[in-house]
Amino acid sequence: MSLQTWRLDSDTCTYVFIAENQAMPECVYWGAALARDEDLEQLTFGTRRPLTNATLDRYAPLSLYPEEITGWQAQVGLELSDLDGKRLLTQFVLVKAEQTGQTLHFTLTEATIGLSLNIQLELRPYAVLSARSELTVTGTQAIKIEHFSAPVLPVPDTCTQLLDFAGRWCGEFQAQTRAWQSGAWLRESHEGRTGHGFSPTCFALNATSSNTQGEVRGWHLGWSGGHQALAEELQDGRRQIQFSRAQANMVLKPNETLDTPSLYCVYSAQGLNGALQSYHQLLREQLIHFPDPKRSRPVHYNCWEAIYFDHSLDGLKTLATQAAELGAERFVLDDGWFKGRHHDLAALGDWTVDSGKYPQGLHPLIEHIHQVGMRFGLWVEPEMVNPDSDLYRAHPDWVLGPKQQALGRNQLALDLQHPAVLDYLYQALSALLREYPIDYLKWDHNRVLTGASYQQTLAYYNLLTRLRQEFPQVEIESCASGGGRIDYGVLAHTHRVWLSDSNDALERWRMQHEAALILAPEITGSHVGPRTCHSSGRVLPMAFRAWVAASRHMGFEMDLRELDAAETQTLKQITAWWKANRDWLFKGRLHRLDSQEPDVIAEMTVAAQGERFVLFAGLMQPPKPNSRRILRLTGLEPTARYRLRSAQPDTLSSPINRLWRSPIQTEQGLVLSGQSLMQAGISLPLTFPAQMNVIEGERL
């Protein structure tokens, strides 16, 4: 028997891969960093499980692509058939393995069927493993692909729970956990996009894992179309997680190649916070490329919930002036600006400015926006068309899916696989970007797809790539009725996500906290909504709405003409605070805190060099105790001393705080060591529900 071994290392973790007798490689370890002189052969055989009765006579490896021919009795990594439907069982042979630094390339062939499989594994310094594969037909016969997973990693026995996200429109990122059980658990998105309730993400947790401690392993598929996630436990106790595109029955012809999306895996020994910080670094250092990285993230004003389709040049100028006075730096003109768009029943696809609403085009509005010191952004929904539109009347054959399909928000989707469709959209958007000084596109996608294939998503990526190449100065936001298309596939082509169509600050605070596991704060749009929330009907205080927005990429989305003097003053103050702190916040390390009060959601961001931090603690509903539980901080230097002060000392709910002796509310502040703050913790003042405690800390 021959055994080849490889390892990939970061400062905090190690991945070990082996191949026996030139067979498909497998990952035999991923976890805390191992000694550099560890005997990987001994590790391999030291962790092999014994065989028992009523099994095959050889060990079936849980390889990067588990194969049935080896005796594997669970979901395989690659399911194939010929064009007559006969199953094809692979037996790949490793013909080449190359390692350059922390990157591994495996090349395998399957001589009987005629296939080549190339696997690439790259470990980033921030402990994120990027894994992807390419399958090529090298034989003379076409094959049908039923299932093609990204490379598969084992789930260690110490992982006792799975965490993933469900959700809905206006209620995205609802965390759910379940214990491992024998058998398979499957989640699929058939929407043709990521989906409000189908984030391609999961985490495997240990029994002691929390935000701040314990081992955590994470998976995220960088793909914006339909996808599948499988978690499976075998009879012998081994476990696997597979992520793949939803692409059943795809035919691959001779010399054609199909690749998988990148799967981003992370290991943390510091709980969920270690995992999210690695993912945030991946976004900052590899995936997100801002047009001007040195420019501070601008405060947005979006006019949608102020005017909807009721566009008036004078009214918009008034809103722009007020927004600038409040501190906004980018004005986004939302839906309703283009030809015939007076409601959501018509005009999608006709991407020219409505001459009735804007006789001189958008120039007068943009000139005013520039005069008051803001940049200009524009809403578009290029992938969609209304049946009542000039585009549909001219090209009904451009629609994706069957004619008898249901409408969604009164619209259909365009078939981006049609070259003429892609060219039309590119020309229409290019014409707008050439004529007007547009700094930003809010790119929406307001319906699920019928009859979509994975090529639709690839064509969408292609359109974004073409536009970004010609207009590199334009920033793009991914919106899909809120959070319907949030993943690392779209974020490799855009710069910001609209987390949800809900501007209810209570719901937003929860969603932002959960989404932080995969989203850095500077790319997560969060707007101060109207006094009465349009999606929930709740009336929430301005301070709470503004502080929730100030914890991410801040903006306003309301009719500013309705603000009273007190609300205006509060919004100005918190916006000024955000602008003074945004640069260090968006380079810092975000930590979710382990609150002992289920009604309190708390997190803190520590500056990259550790010299300061800010703590947000929001009360979601009346607490059960009649006082506050102690809140432990995290991510601080144990021996350093910190001064803590409230960022809003004058807004304490005095009627319910009869006696509170903490100097946090005073100018001198509370001074404690990092060790004390992380072990003893601090007490926060009592607040009413929908209030935010914001505490600033500085290292002395």
Active site residue 444: yes
Question: Virtual CA dihedral for 327, 331, 334, 336, nearest 10 degrees?
Answer: 120
Label the pairing between strands 330-333 and 300-302: parallel
Strand partners, 592: 603
Q: 3-class SS at 111?
A: coil
Strands of 3-9's sheet in order across = 3-9, 13-20, 26-32
Task: Please tell me the distance from the alpha carbon of residue 37 to that of residue 263, in angstroms, as a whole number.
Answer: 29
CA–CA distances in Å: residue 646 to residues 418, 513, 676: 57, 21, 18
Task: Please tell me the distance from the alpha carbon of residue 466 to that of residue 303, in angstroms, as a whole number.
Answer: 28
CB 505 within 8 A of CB 526: no
Both structure tokens of 295: 């420019």
* Residue 347 CB neighbours (<10 A): 23
| CA geometry: angle 387, 389, 390, nearest 5 deg | 130
Identify the DSSP state of 664: G
Task: Please tell me the distance from the alpha carbon of residue 392 to that of residue 348, in angstroms, as a whole number.
Answer: 9
Residue 492: how many CA atoms within 13 Å on its side-chain side? 17
Question: Virtual CA dihedral for 495, 498, 503, 504, nearest 10 degrees?
Answer: -110
Q: Which amino acid is located at 236 in the chain? A: D
CB 616 within 8 A of CB 525: no
Task: Please tell me the distance from the alpha carbon of residue 53 to that of residue 465, in angstroms, as a whole number.
Answer: 55
CB 548 within 8 A of CB 293: no
CB 556 within 8 A of CB 301: yes
CB 590 within 8 A of CB 516: yes
CA–CA distances in Å: residue 481 to residues 141, 378, 489: 43, 16, 18
Task: Please tell me the distance from the alpha carbon of residue 377 to that of residue 300, in angstroms, as a whole number.
Answer: 9
Strand partners, 97: 106
444, 564, 594, 599: the active-site residue? 444
Task: Please tell me the distance from the alpha carbon of residue 79 to that of residue 68, in angstroms, as a whole number.
Answer: 10
Angle at which helices 363-371 and 313-326 cross, to 10° = 20
Task: Please tell me the distance from the alpha carbon of residue 239 to that of residue 160, in angstroms, as a whole number.
Answer: 11
CB 524 within 8 A of CB 497: yes
- In sequence order, the 6+-apart residues with CB closer than 8 A to the CB of 529 are 305, 503, 504, 505, 545, 557, 558
Task: Please tell me the distance from the alpha carbon of residue 380 to that of residue 340, in angstroms, as a whole number.
Answer: 14
Q: What DSSP element (H or E) covers 508?
A: helix 505-515
CB 24 within 8 A of CB 92: yes
Phi then psi for residue 376, to 5 deg, are -115, 135
501, 559, 564, 650: the active-site residue? 501
| DSSP code string of 194-240 | --TT--SEEEEEETT--SSSB-EEEEEE--SS-EEEEEEE-TTS-EE
Task: Please tell me the distance from the alpha carbon of residue 695 to that of residue 341, in angstroms, as a whole number.
Answer: 46
Active site residue 501: yes
Catalytic residues: 444, 501
